[in-house]
Chains A and B, each alone.
Chain A
Amino acid sequence: DQQVKQNSPSLSVQEGRISILNCDYTNSMFDYFLWYKKYPAEGPTFLISISSIKDKNEDGRFTVFLNKSAKHLSLHIVPSQPGDSAVYFCAASAISGDYKLSFGAGTTVTVRA
């Protein structure tokens, strides 16, 4: 039962433009959300997170938006750079869940020069 869903397996974007990655979740107990970036042959790298008490969190070129009522979050990368080409995973956790993370299937982002 996939509780975190990334319905777009891939995204291609022009360098300098905005990348928007989407994530939906089904478990209403999730209250903390994270995005990870993964290059081939490396482990995932933590990118940005958001608590359910917020609807937006920004860190440099990366902004995460959370819509709790829709059980939806998105990651915006602007401007996109060639080094952003990677697989992006959305993850979620519940405070009562011993900090365990549930991951989405990932979205492969390709930034075109």
Chain B
Amino acid sequence: SAVISQKPSRDICQRGTSLTIQCQVDSQVTMMFWYRQQPGQSLTLIATANQGSEATYESGFVIDKFPISRPNLTFSTLTVSNMSPEDSSIYLCSVSEGGFEQYFGPGTRLTVT
């Protein structure tokens, strides 16, 4: 399966600022996804990152708050904008190589103070 890396692995940010998280895959993949795991909660899909076009957002998530880029088949970024303490979560990217199985990166642990 693909090897996925994320940067940064963790960060502590002040409210009102923005953080961009990078997801790099070692091979071209069909689909890339971004998830959030809030403390003590399950994984929630934020959006599907589409190569060369706008991301597809799930209910409750909007582009102004979570802009996503996917310039090619191996890279994507998620920006968490105008952060508040409620955005403190683990953010995960995942990839699919064409099937239902998704493979996850190690996650980015974000704390907003």
| CB pair A99 B42 closer than 8 Å | no
By a CB distance below 8 angstroms, the chain B residues around A41 are: 106-107, 109
Q: Which among B31, B45, B56, B102 has the greatest number of chain A C-beta atoms within 10 A?
A: B102
Task: Give the contact-size bracket for chain B.
Answer: 20 to 34
Q: Give B61 Cβ to nearest chain A Cβ, in Å.
A: 13
Residue B101 at the chain A interface, CB threshold 8 Å: yes
By a CB distance below 8 angstroms, the chain B residues around A25 are: none
Assuming A89-B42, A103-B42, A103-B43, is B102 touching A46 (CB within 8 A)?
yes
Which chain A residues in 1-55 approach chain B with CB under 8 Å? 32, 34, 36, 41-46, 49
By a CB distance below 8 angstroms, the chain A residues around B94 are: 43
| CB pair A99 B106 closer than 8 Å | no
- B90-108 interface code vs A (CB 8 A; 1 in, 0 out): 0010101001111111110
By a CB distance below 8 angstroms, the chain B residues around A46 are: 1, 101-103
Report the separation of the CA atoms of residues A34 and B102 in the bound assembly, to the nearest whole angstrom: 9
Give chain B's interface secondary structure class. strand
Assuming A99-B31, A99-B96, A100-B33, is B101 touching A49 (CB within 8 A)?
yes
Residue B41 at the chain A interface, CB threshold 8 Å: yes
| CB pair B101 A34 closer than 8 Å | yes
Which chain A residues in 55-113 approach chain B with CB under 8 Å? 89, 93, 98-106
Residue B22 at the chain A interface, CB threshold 8 Å: no
Residue B48 at the chain A interface, CB threshold 8 Å: yes
15 contacts between A and B (CB under 8 A): A34-B101, A41-B107, A41-B109, A43-B104, A43-B107, A45-B104, A46-B1, A46-B102, A89-B43, A99-B100, A101-B45, A101-B102, A102-B45, A103-B43, A105-B42
